[in-house]
Structure 1
Amino acid sequence: MTAPDLTQTSGPGRWFTPRHIVALVLGLIIALVVAGALWWVFSSMGTTKITATFKRSVGIYEGSDVRILGVAVGKVDSVTPQGDTVKVTMTVDRGITLPEDVRAVQVIPSVVADRYIQLTPAYSGGPKASRDITLDVNQTMVPVEVDELYRSVKELSDALGPDGANKQDGTGRQGAVSELVATSAANLEGNGEKLGEAIENLSKATTTLSDSRGNLFDTVKNLNTFVGALRENDAQVRQFNTQMASFNKFLAGERDQLASALNKLSFALGDVAEFLDDNREQIGETVKDLQPTTQALLDEKNNLKEVLTVLPITISNLINAYDAESGTLSMRLTIPDLQDLIGAQCRLLDLGQLLPGNPQATQFSNTLRPLISQCEALGKQITDGVLEPLLPVLPFGIMSNNKLQKAPVPGTVPGNPDPEIGTPSSRTPAPPAARAPASSSTTKSTTPRPRGGN
């Protein structure tokens, strides 16, 4: 049997030549390299790279988990010592969003298990971290090692032991720690129940403070505002304290008189109490009789308020209207209803407006509503056609607030002085020799005279 000729250039065997085999192998290698590169590119896209610096890194190795809230989200890429610190690089999977203030913490799930790195806090909204994060020593935390814990316990036991605080002084007395324990046991003996109640009450008080922390903080804030106000008014506060000190000193100097006054006041209060007791019924009847008066004042509260508001202005106007030189009041009585006498009489028929809240008056006004409307229209026609032209010549015109007096009133218009008062030049005192004796006809009357039909 002869071996096949692999060098043949025709037939099926022509594809298995050494040249074709080498090309096929090279193609497979290139395809694997390209696939690996593509896989690496796509797997690294969207991931987050974190470079964290820890004070130490015990139990953290390449490949250790990176977790958020206990869920694995990445791996440790490398652990590199750098002097007194350790640099740890990590990669967080795609689709994981981290907050801008992210921190890295080494967590010990148990004493012998491998540690992992916890990223905290979990993202819940707000600014996001970049895809390349660098955390310094202040942004990372490491747990307390068991050796350090044992060392601290040993140091504490040595400090409290027979060579430390519990050392005897050579007189046979117990050490300070032993005496403390013995004294505490003696004081607490039989008080266990009370101690438990005290602890329970303290727990309740703490819970109350915790539940009312908002009000507590508001109180502290208000107290801070109050203290700030005192600081800003330091001079006034010092002055107030000085005045209070002077007042207290005055009371101390007058304590005898004050004691005597209080003693007499006690007798007076006793007499008042006796008077009230003897006249209890009369006082009750008096108070009961005052009820209608107080009710009337309450019903007229708005009117009283208006009177008290307008009264000072009225008094001021009255003072300003008084002419001391002539002894008269320079004022004008204004009666607006005189402009429309018939309309005023028509409005008197509208009892609903005069007695608001009275159902009978309201019903009466509703019944006479057509008549009131006709009366007002008729009154307007009469006023406009008949009374309006007469108002300037009637004495009502000067009091109507609408028609002003046209003719000047003596003594009230400049250039038309009152003959009895005279001009300022005529009131100039004459020389004693030429002054005529006063008579009843030239003496100025101090009685106010009506002016212009007022």
Structure 2
Amino acid sequence: MHSDAREGLLMLRRFVASRAFASIIGGVMAVVVVAAGAVYFLQPANNLLGYCAIMPDAIGLYEGNDVKMRGIKVGTVTALRPEGTGVRVDFEVDAAHPLRGEASATTVADSIVADRTLAVLGTKGTDWDTGTCITKTVTPKSLTQTFNAMSKVADELQGGDDPAARDRVKRAITLFDQATAGTGPKLNDIVMQLAAALRSPDAAVSHIGSLIDNLADLTTSIANGWGDLRQMLDGLAPILQIVNDVWDSVVELVNSIVTILPWLNDVTTKYGGPILQLLDASVPLVHLLGANVAGLKQLIDMIPAIAAMFRNSTDPQTGAVAVSYAPPRVALPEAQAQQVCTWLNGIAPGRCGGTADGMTSVDLVPLILGSVGAR
């Protein structure tokens, strides 16, 4: 049995050491190498997608730098060249991670001294056109730009080139110090009171609870009276409609007032003095009328008589102003009336019309005026 095993091992050793086995092994290795080369060199050309982005700058970005999407490497930078006011960055991305929708790009660095990587990001949508460069790009500011901006802000706070404003910050700090001088104890008291309130918050919570309860009562009252409130609001609708209807008239009235006010201003400017003098002069007359009129009723009772007087002072046919006059009448005893009539006829014959019933009828006004003219 042992001899059979020994013979098998000897035969296997002879086969491995033979030229046939070496030829077989060499052929297999050649096939494997050829297959691997074919897979490597004959793989499809569309496994990478080429994109470009117009960046504001390319600080820290070089050919061969990584292209990442959400922190995962998906490609490399292939070329950089100036274009317009920015830099065009060409890069390739694995076809398994194409850009879609509204693509954007930026440069990211793990520290302020390390090279930057190009970070790209897409959104939902169709695939991004590889022939169109990404323009939605941003880059971090460099240390030089950051320090220059800080220096510019500090210089502006110091007044810039204006020598008179050089101590602006100093004056502001001085004024703040003067304004807060002596307020330390008061501020300390406020802090202590706040600390005491925080140590015992039950009182504050109780106040808040009372406010919430009062608010609940208020909302309950509003809810219970909502019907009346709604009825009142419904009643406002006709009123608002009336206001809306008359609003045009109000606008016209306001426009008329705007037109009248300049006229009133001109009248006041030109005739204000005489008008005020007339009003001042009418004050005594008003007092006189008020003194002679016992009351408002008597004044109103006088209005019909005054109106009738003005109505009777015009001729109804011609419209001319006419004044009717009735001479006074005096009753005398018949004997005296006869004597008066005789005397009057002696002065002006025919003026006395008789003494019937003890009344003498004489045109007194013509008699007096004629006597004066005779003299």
Same fold (TM over 0.5): no
Q: Which has the larger radius of gyration?
A: 2
Structure with higher helix content: 2
TM-score scaled by length of structure 2: 0.38
Q: TM-score, normalised by structure 1?
A: 0.32
